A and B are shown apart, each in its own frame.
Chain A
Amino acid sequence: MDTTSQEQTKKFEPPAATAAAAVETATQTGSKTRVSARDVNVHYGEKQALFDVSIDIPDRGVTAFIGPSGCGKSTFLRCLNRMNDTIEGCRVTGKILLDDVDIANPDLDVVELRARVGMVFQKPNPFPKSIYENVAYGPRIHGMTSSKDELDEIVYSSLRRAGLYEEVKDRLDQPGTGLSGGQQQRLCIARAIATKPEVLLMDEPCSALDPIATAIIEELIDELRENFTIVIVTHSMQQAARVSQKTAFFHLGKLIEEGPTEQIFTNPLDKKTQDYITGRIG
């Protein structure tokens, strides 16, 4: 025990510097920290996927995680709503505070957590039910509404905020799986925001979409950041540059660098970040 804690303190030093940078970021963007992760390690069985990740995610804004495939950015994202629990043999250690509650604590009720931290996945995955049912499902299972009118209101406003309402208002009873890929992804966003989450996680939400659908989603993300804390994982550096205010670069399971998006893309401090954004590694 002693040796491991010593190791951890030793290892803590480089992230401490980034944590300091995070505080700086927070003061720069003028918003408080919503999620703060410290020394997060993730193992898949024997294999370690994340090494001592410490990062602060600011309230009301878009934080982008970038990095080459297999760098652990999605793994870290899934720590934030405990979706890693569903993966056999996955072990998470460290502290992740969401409003002073440690969400990495195994005793935490994940159902409640996931109601507060919504998620949009890489591939659009609407339920094979009607468009209305897709959006209504979350509020319904959480008992958020007391009447049909109230539920209607949530469904319509969620679809409106996801920019989908005008396109589907005449066919809310049609299956959500019959929509186009971009529409399906917006439906998934509507479904995620219908439960009024505080944090919205997006795992490469545009990787399965064409450029036009991508542009629509990016616009949508830009609008949603006024009300939600958004964390987005993306393969596209241009996308990170376009939609995010803060960017974190992961490489081989380590958080290499984080900071204001502008600074990461124009003046990275680390050589690896420089190499990645200029296309030399990846």
Chain B
Amino acid sequence: MTDTTASPGTGTVSAEENRARIRKGLARRHRQEAIFRGMGVAAIAAALGFVAILFGMIIFKGAPAFWQATLTAEVYFDPEVIESDPRPVQQEGQSPADYRAELLRWERAVTLSNWNAVVADSIRKLAPDMELERKDALELVTSSVRYKLRDMFVENPDLLGQTVSVSMLGSANTDVWLKGNIDRSLADDRQQLSAATRELADRLAEEGVIRSAFAWHIFTNVDSRSAPASAGLAGAFVGSLYMMLVVIALAVPIGVASAVYLEEFAPKNRLTDLIEVNINNLAAVPSIVFGLLGAAVFINYFKLPLSAPLVGGMVLTLMTLPTIIIATRSSLRAVPPSLRQAALGLGASQTQTVFHHVLPLTFPGILTATIIGVAQALGETAPLLLIGMNAFVANVPATPMDQATALPVQIYLWQGNENRNFFEARTSAAIMVLLGLMIMLNALAIFLRTRLEKRQ
């Protein structure tokens, strides 16, 4: 105890020696720092690399799907084939309902005409020297072309006997053949198109009749099984949009209100601790469990319709709530207590303090949390499968109560489509649309946050 020399480095060591000791360790300390920095850079590079590979592969695969084989043909609305009475006109004294019924009868009669013959004839005219069978000619274009012609005629019956040039979408198999997504050396019985159609497609592509056109219909059409080439994302997009609106309308008020109550008003005791732990746990619950809950409660108990965006939105709300509550609470906690004291010290009530001073400051945080939560919900698939949103829906839902699907579910459905060599690219294209939407939402979050923060 009395031995003062026992403690090294104090008193007994000269300044010179002390400096030497520090210098000796310096190299090691700098090396450690360099290693740590190197590891950090490597980690970031690896993460960026993976993201680049992911995006690169998706874009590489998906981008070609936005351009599809399209051709323009002269269509003769042959009066011999299209058996049609003149389009009815509303008679005097005829009730609108009667007129409507008559019109529908006429439309049905028009539909029953042999439109395939009209389509085949117009294709045959593109290569008059090839003795094409009707089947082979029809294979070239997607099957929805006949409805397109019918609709044109219903819209304008004067077309009868006229020749119009019409843009037609190549069939999925034509597209696959021309893009080289199928082995051209395969035997006839293993090809998707007949030999005659393959020859026709190659010839028309060479002549420039079939060209690659931007496929706007990916954004405007609904899903289709009979005419896969014309399948689009419009239905899924609107379904996702409805769900987003439901999530925003439900999750934001409920989430913000719970967060404000828990953070600003609730007494801090066992019960609120328990609630807090459970909210944090909810954020980690696998999403499919929420789907089961939705199926059990919303559909089985409350008898809400299957496949409806309303139910999907409610399930996603349950999933998004913890995210919004946790983020709102942390931004409430970030408000300096001195601000609350200032307001309380002036005699503001607790509610006035929260609504006049605290909440306005947390607005950017809440907004960011909401957009990130909604973006998360937008990309969710599993819970939607359990409430029937993976059904094939060939309509754009008119209301949130109608059957619909969602973008990620559409990706899942296309991914499983048996027409592999066509839908592989289509799936990647749909992923690109979804990712684009996500990036836009996140950019909006960042933009709004910086703007709101600047204003304060």
Q: Which residues of A contact B (CB under 8 A)?
A: 81, 83, 86, 88, 111-115, 118-119, 121, 123, 125-128, 137-138, 141-142, 188, 191-192, 195
Contact = CB atoms under 8 A, between A and B. Distances in A.
Given A112-B347, A114-B346, A83 B341 contact: yes
B356 A114 contact: no
A125 B342 contact: yes
21 contacts: A81-B345, A83-B344, A86-B341, A86-B344, A112-B347, A114-B344, A114-B345, A114-B346, A118-B346, A119-B341, A121-B341, A123-B338, A125-B336, A127-B342, A127-B357, A128-B339, A138-B346, A141-B346, A141-B356, A191-B346, A192-B346
B343 A127 contact: yes
Contacts of B340: 86
Nearest to A142: B347
A141 B344 contact: no
Contacts of B347: 111-115, 138, 141-142, 195
Instruction: Name the residue in B340, B344, B346, B349 with the highest tally of chain A Cβ atoms < 10 Å from its Cβ.
Output: B346
Interface in B347-365: 347-349, 352, 356-357, 361
A121 B341 CA distance: 8
A88 B272 CA distance: 14
A111 B456 CA distance: 28
Interface of B: 268, 336, 338-349, 352, 356-357, 361, 456
Given A127-B357, A128-B456, A195-B347, A141 B352 contact: yes
Contacts of B352: 141
B319 to A, nearest CB: 32
Contacts of B342: 121, 125-127, 188, 191
Nearest to A85: B344
Nearest to A82: B344
Contact of A127 (B268, B339, B344): B339
B336 to A, nearest CB: 8
A128 B363 CA distance: 13
A271 to B, nearest CB: 36
Contacts of A128: 339, 361, 456
Given A137-B356, A192-B346, A125 B341 contact: yes
Most buried by A among B268, B345, B356: B345
A150 to B, nearest CB: 18
B361 A192 contact: no
Contacts of A125: 336, 338-339, 341-342
A137 B355 CA distance: 13
Contacts of A137: 343, 346, 348, 356
A81 B268 CA distance: 23
A188 B361 CA distance: 19
Contacts of A114: 344-347
A52 B348 CA distance: 30
A128 B343 CA distance: 12
B345 A118 contact: yes
A142 B349 CA distance: 10
A83 B357 contact: no
A206 B235 CA distance: 65
Nearest to A116: B347
Contacts of A81: 345
A86 B344 CA distance: 9
A8 to B, nearest CB: 29
Most buried by B among A115, A137, A192: A137
Nearest to A124: B338
Given A118-B346, A121-B342, 16 more contacts: A81-B345, A83-B341, A83-B344, A112-B347, A113-B347, A115-B346, A121-B345, A125-B341, A127-B339, A127-B342, A137-B346, A137-B348, A138-B346, A141-B352, A141-B356, A195-B347
Q: Give the top 6 A-B pairs by smallest Cβ distance, nearest first.
A: A114-B347, A119-B345, A115-B347, A125-B338, A125-B342, A138-B346
Nearest to A134: B342
Contacts of A195: 346-347
A104 B347 CA distance: 16
A281 B215 CA distance: 84
A200 to B, nearest CB: 11
Query: Which of B340, B342, B349, B361 has its CB near the most chain A CB atoms (within 10 A)?
Result: B342
Nearest to B267: A88
Contacts of B348: 111, 137, 141
Contacts of B456: 128
B239 to A, nearest CB: 41
B6 to A, nearest CB: 34
A114 B340 CA distance: 14
Contacts of A112: 347
Nearest to B337: A86
B452 to A, nearest CB: 12
A117 to B, nearest CB: 9
